Amino acid sequence: MPASPSGRARSAIVSRLRDAGCVFAEDEARLLISAAPTPAGLAAMVDRRAAGQPLEHILGWAEFGGLRIAVDPGVFVPRRRTEFLVRQAIALARRPAAAPRPVVVLDLCCGSGAVGAALAAGLDQAELYAADIDPAAVRCARRNVAAAGGQVYEGDLYAPLPGRLRGRIDILAANVPYVPTGAVGLLPAEARVHEPRVALDGGADGLDVLRRVTAGAPQWLAPGGHLLVETSEPQAPLAIEAAARDGLIPRVARSRALNTTVVIGTRPSRGPRPSAPR
C-alpha cells in the first residue's frame, strides 16, 4: 500500500529535504511519497535523498524527452539540457515522404540509453543502436533501448559495433564525458560520488573522448549523416576544430534557455569514402 503521510509529516519531509540542500524540495517530496510502497519505505527513501543520493537513483527513473527512463544506481543520470541535442537530431533526421526508410541511429556513450530512446520516440521510423563501456550502464540501457526496439553493445566507443553499420548511420548522438579531469572534484556530490567517473571525466581539457569520437565518425556515418556531441561553450571551438580535421563539416547549435552547446559534424554527401581513423 503506498505511503500516505499526514500534512504535518509531509511538511517535515519537505523541511528535511530543503535543509539537505534540495532546491525543489516540495516537488521531490511529492515524487518520493508517490513512489514509496510503505511509510517505512518512504522514510528510507527520504534518508537516502537527504544523504545526497540522486533523486533519480532513488526513484529508479528520470523524466527525459517526455519519457520515463529507467535509471539504476551508479548509472549516469540524463540531464534535461541534453533534450536540446535530441531536438536538433530529430530535426536533422526527418525524412521527406520520398525517402521512407528507417533512420539509422547510434547512441554512443549511451549511459541509460535515454538519448536513443527519445530519438526513437521522436522519429516515425528508427533503426536504433547504442553502446557504452560501462557494464552497469549497458544493463540499464538494454531496458530502455529494448523498449524502443533497439540493440545495445558493451565496449569502447565503436569497437563493439557490428561491421554492417559502417557507412550506414544517419544520426550519431554522442553524449561524451566533457568535464576536464581537474574539475571533476568540483562537481556536486550527487554526480561526483554517485555517478561513474567514466561518464564525467573527459581528460585534461575535457575533449579526449570527443576527439576519439570525431576521428571514427566518418567511417560509420552515412554520406550526409550527422554527428551531434554535447560540450561546453568554451570547448566548442576546439570541438569544431577536431570535427573539421576529421573530415566533417562542423557547426554549433546553442540553447541559452538550457545553457547547453551542441557541436554538429556532417559527413559530406559526396567524395571518397574516408580512410580508417588514425
User: Phi/psi at 33 (nearest 5 deg)?
Assistant: -65, -40
Task: Band the pLDDT of 148: cuts 50, 70, 90.
Answer: confident
**Residues 42, 148 within the same domain:** no
- pLDDT given at position 276: 53
CA-only gyration radius of the chain, Å: 20
* Residue, of 3 and 216, whose pLDDT is higher: 216
- pLDDT given at position 7: 78
24 contacts: CB under 8 Å, gap ≥ 6: none
**Residues 91, 63 within the same domain:** no
pLDDT of 213 over the 50 cut: yes
**Residues 97, 32 within the same domain:** no
Residue 15 lies in a domain: yes
Q: Tens of pLDDT along 133-146? A: 999 999 999 999 99
Residue 277 lies in a domain: no
Task: Band the pLDDT of 204: cuts 50, 70, 90.
Answer: very high
**Residues 118, 141 within the same domain:** yes
**Residues 143, 48 within the same domain:** no
Domain range holding 62?
7-70
Residue 278 lies in a domain: no
Tell me what the pLDDT averaged over the chain comes to.
Answer: 92
Task: Band the pLDDT of 101: cuts 50, 70, 90.
Answer: confident
How many percent of the chain have pLDDT more than 70? Answer: 94
pLDDT of 209 over the 80 cut: yes
Final residue in a domain of this structure, among 70, 98, 120: 70
Query: Considering its fold, how many domains does the chain have in total?
Result: 2
Residue 195 lies in a domain: yes
Residue 63 lies in a domain: yes
pLDDT of 273 over the 70 cut: no
Task: Band the pLDDT of 168: cuts 50, 70, 90.
Answer: very high
Residue 184 lies in a domain: yes
Q: Which helix (H) or strand (E) holds 32?
A: helix 25-35
CATH code of residue 219:
3.40.50.150
**Residues 63, 125 within the same domain:** no
- pLDDT given at position 124: 87
- pLDDT given at position 58: 96
pLDDT of 178 over the 70 cut: yes
User: Phi/psi at 85 (nearest 5 deg)?
Assistant: -60, -45
- pLDDT given at position 94: 75
Rounded to 5°, the CA angle 229-246-78 comes to 10
- Ranges 3-7, 26-30, 45-49, 185-189: which has the least confidence: 3-7
- pLDDT given at position 86: 97
Q: Which helix (H) or strand (E) holds 68?
A: strand 67-70
Exposure letters 62-77 (e unless 16+ CB within 10 A, then b): bebbebebbbbeebbb
Residue 58 lies in a domain: yes
Give me the torsion for CA of 8, 9, 10, 11, rounded to 10°. 50
pLDDT of 237 over the 70 cut: yes
**Residues 103, 23 within the same domain:** no
**Residues 170, 205 within the same domain:** yes
> Mean pLDDT, to the nearest integer, of 7-30?
91
pLDDT of 218 over the 50 cut: yes
Give me the torsion for CA of 182, 188, 190, 194, rounded to 10°. 10
**Residues 120, 15 within the same domain:** no
**Residues 66, 167 within the same domain:** no
Residue 275 lies in a domain: no
